[in-house]
């Protein structure tokens, strides 16, 4: 199913063909209860970190370091900001002990996805984007290492796809919903923001892409959300050929 807002998407279709599609991951490609996931994540990581941290404040340190990534830091990667803040808050040097945490993401993280799976139409939408020659991006909020994001792509059934970009905490210098996040993606793809379609389920994190000129496609359930289009991923797959050719 697809709906669009009158006098909104049509001018974009007329004047600018899409060259890139940005897919959010959690709640968009991946059917996930984020509260359940985060509870599992904090519990498992706390247990795994016992060799280097035996106190009760690890979750607070993780949350504090995550908040630091949300702040603007244009000249530093999210990874560098997180590692510095986590060291300040917990006393743990992640670089020094990365082998321990890498083992967690490689061998313990997979079990956290129990009961989670692809959203209907997820793979078809991604493969349609690629088949049309559109630059295809996993535009997840870049607060996790690449390894963790690849595991979550596996839960969504789309890990084996050759994306043009997957945003991770290693390669990005901003987080959603900052304009800098969306602008950095467009710059990395060598396209204009107006040539990008942001697909997501979170009005507060994904749809602010419109502020930099991107077209938005909302796949969530909330009513009265301001987006250029809304529908499911199957509807998106039907629409993408039109978006890819209009204005060409």
Q: What percent of the chain has pLDDT over 70?
A: 92
Residue 16: per-residue pLDDT: 65
pLDDT tens digits, residue range 83-102? Answer: 999 999 999 999 999 999 99
pLDDT bracket for residue 245 (50, 70, 90) = confident
Whether 14 has a pLDDT exceeding 60, the answer reads no
Query: Each residue of 151-172: b (16+ CB within 10 Å) or e?
Result: bbbebbbbeeeebbbbbbbeeb
Within 8 A by CB and 6+ apart from 128, the residues are: 236, 237, 240, 241
Tens of pLDDT, residues 23-70? 999 999 999 999 999 999 999 999 999 999 877 889 999 999 999 999
Say how far apart CA 68 and CA 62 lie, in whole Å: 10
pTM of the model: 0.92
Residue 132 and residue 89 in contact, taking contact as beta carbons nearer than 8 Å: no
Q: How far, in Å, CA of 216 to CA of 50, rounded?
A: 43
The residue to which tokens 């498992």 are assigned? 44
What does DSSP assign to residue 129? H
User: What pLDDT, on the 0 to 100 scale, is given for residue 2?
Assistant: 54
């Amino acid at each position: 199913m697809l709906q669009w807002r009158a006098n909104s998407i049509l001018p974009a279709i007329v004047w600018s063909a899409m060259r890139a599609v940005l897919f959010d991951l959690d709640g968009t490609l991946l059917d996930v209860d984020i509260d359940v996931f985060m509870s599992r994540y904090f519990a498992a990581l706390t247990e795994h970190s016992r060799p280097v941290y035996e106190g009760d404040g690890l979750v607070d340190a993780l949350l504090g370091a995550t908040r630091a990534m949300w702040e603007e830091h244009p000249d530093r990667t999210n990874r560098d900001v997180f590692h510095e803040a986590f060291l300040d808050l917990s006393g743990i040097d992640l670089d020094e002990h990365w082998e321990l945490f890498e083992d967690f993401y490689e061998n313990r993280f997979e079990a956290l996805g129990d009961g989670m799976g692809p959203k209907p139409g997820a793979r078809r939408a991604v493969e349609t984007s690629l088949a049309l020659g559109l630059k295809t991006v996993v535009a997840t909020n870049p607060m996790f290492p690449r390894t963790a994001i690849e595991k979550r792509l596996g839960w969504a059934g789309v890990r084996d796809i050759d994306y043009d970009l997957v945003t991770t905490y290693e390669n990005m210098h901003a987080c959603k919903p900052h304009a800098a996040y969306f602008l950095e993606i467009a710059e990395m793809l060598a396209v204009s923001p107006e040539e990008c379609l942001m697909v997501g389920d979170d009005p507060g994190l994904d749809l602010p892409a419109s502020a930099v000129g991107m077209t938005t496609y909302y796949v969530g359930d909330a009513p009265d959300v301001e987006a250029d289009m809304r529908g499911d991923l199957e509807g998106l797959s039907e629409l993408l050929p039109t978006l890819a050719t209009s204005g060409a």
